[in-house]
Amino acid sequence: MARIPTLEDLGDVAGKRVFVRTDFNVPLDEGKITDDFRIRAALPTIEWLESRGAKVVCASHLGRPKGKPDDKYSMAPVRARLAELAPDVELLENLRFDSGEEANDPAFTARLIEGIDLYVNDAFGASHRAHASIVGPPKMLPSAMGLLLQKEVDVLLGLRNNPKRPFVAVLGGAKISDKLGVVEALLDVVDALVIGGAMCFTFFAAQGKSIGDSLFEPDQVESCARLLSSGRTIHLPDDIVGTDADGAFATFGTWLPDGAKGFDIGPGSAAAFSDVIMDARTVFWNGPMGVFEDERFAAGTRTVAQAMAETKAFTVVGGGDSAAALAQFRLEDDIDHVSTGGGASLELLELGDLPGLAALRAAPNAPAGNEE
């Protein structure tokens, strides 16, 4: 099997027009970028190419416009920020303004690469999508993964294939259904799984506990029961913070009365989860422990984030919500690797490959030989 070509495998880039697929799908609030992490993350690749004399043309999607132009999703704010960071880069309009992008239409790919000599994929966060700009150009042009994509793949496949132990995965967020595949894959490689967020209520239901009116997924109870009987170490919360039947702030054990709703793990669980994180040598975290946007329900996520920052373990955080939580608590600099991908990081951990990586391996310039 060919290996994924790197920037060096492009040969001499001087004077070449290089199309760089980036993931500039940044959070916007009333047209203003609230976090430019994904733009800054692409700069090393842009600088690598420009310093060797290449002309860089970037392109990305932004949000989910339905295959036609929509001002709300214009790249203008991104273009303005990029012009401050990398003034010589050209940035195309939102790729998803054309239905050919998501349909992976070869005619759209052909238009994208008109006048382009070389292709670079640095859009880790979108590489689980078999869209035209991700999988199309490597069929036609000498191609490579950018430095961001390479780093993400090294770190995440390192977790999957060769983690320092104990290796702990901390998962949160609302839905177990979104993460069932990755949870099952992780159970084979982790020493312990830590579960918080609303998804814990589906596990509680599987244990026959009373969850009041908390969010849960009835159709996933059976899957949770199966995970619980897998014989692996799964840590669930043993206290919960939320609201009682009158909507007042309340603390519960693992038995929630009628009308009660859980919105965060309790202080006892947060402390116990921190201990697991402190004792680990590798930790992967995806998904908040509670509704941290609401200060009343932020403590669980904050405590876990602080343990992630303090542990001597190698720490990796994937997913926009967990990264946003770290940013809110100003702890992102204390994490070894904050992934730019949410869905992509989970899919890479689950399957060990992504459509965007497979496409690069099939590029005309891909070197023979196994990946190291």
Interface with ligand 3PG (CB under 6 A): 23, 25, 64, 125-126, 129, 342-343
Query: Considering beta carbons, is residue 237 or 355 the nearer one to ligand 3PG?
Result: 355
Q: Which residues pair with 240 in a beta bridge?
A: 252, 265
At 168 the three-state DSSP class reads strand
Active site residue 320: yes
Let me know the angle formed at the C-alpha of 203 by 197 and 208, rounded to the nearest 5 degrees. Answer: 135
Question: 98, 108 in Cβ contact below 8 A?
Answer: yes
Residue number with the shortest CB distance to Mg ion?
315
Of residues 295 through 334, those in contact with Mg ion by CB under 5 A are: 315
- Report the partner that residue 64 touches, choosing among ligand 3PG, Mg ion, none (CB closer than 5 to 8 A by kind): ligand 3PG
172 binds, among ligand 3PG, Mg ion, none (CB under 5 to 8 A by kind): none
What is the rounded distance in angstroms from the CA atom of residue 219 to the CA atom of residue 221? 6
CB of 142 to ligand 3PG, least distance (A): 25
Name the residue among 286, 304, 289 with its Cα closest to residue 347.
286
Rg of the chain on CA atoms, in Å: 22
Instruction: Choose among 4, 101, 14, 104: nearest CA to 56.
Output: 14
Tokens for 97?
Answer: 């303004």
- At closest approach, how far in Å is the CB of 73 from ligand 3PG? 11
Query: Given 175, 209, 232, 296, which residue is catalytic?
Result: 175
45 versus 311: smaller Cβ distance to Mg ion: 311
Q: Is 175 a catalytic residue?
A: yes
Residue nearest to ligand 3PG (CB): 25
Query: Minimal distance in Å, beta carbon 11 to ligand 3PG?
Result: 30
Among candidate residues 196, 262, 318, 320, the one labeled active-site is 320
DSSP 226: H
Bridge partners, residue 120, by sequence: 20, 144
Closest to ligand 3PG by CB, 34 or 251: 34
Which of residues 89 and 170 has its CB atom nearest to Mg ion in the complex?
Answer: 170
* Binding site partner of 330, from Mg ion, ligand 3PG, none, Cβ cut-off 5-8 A by kind: none
Number of other CB atoms surrounding residue 34 within 10 Å: 11
Residue ranges that bind Mg ion, judged by CB under 5 A: 315
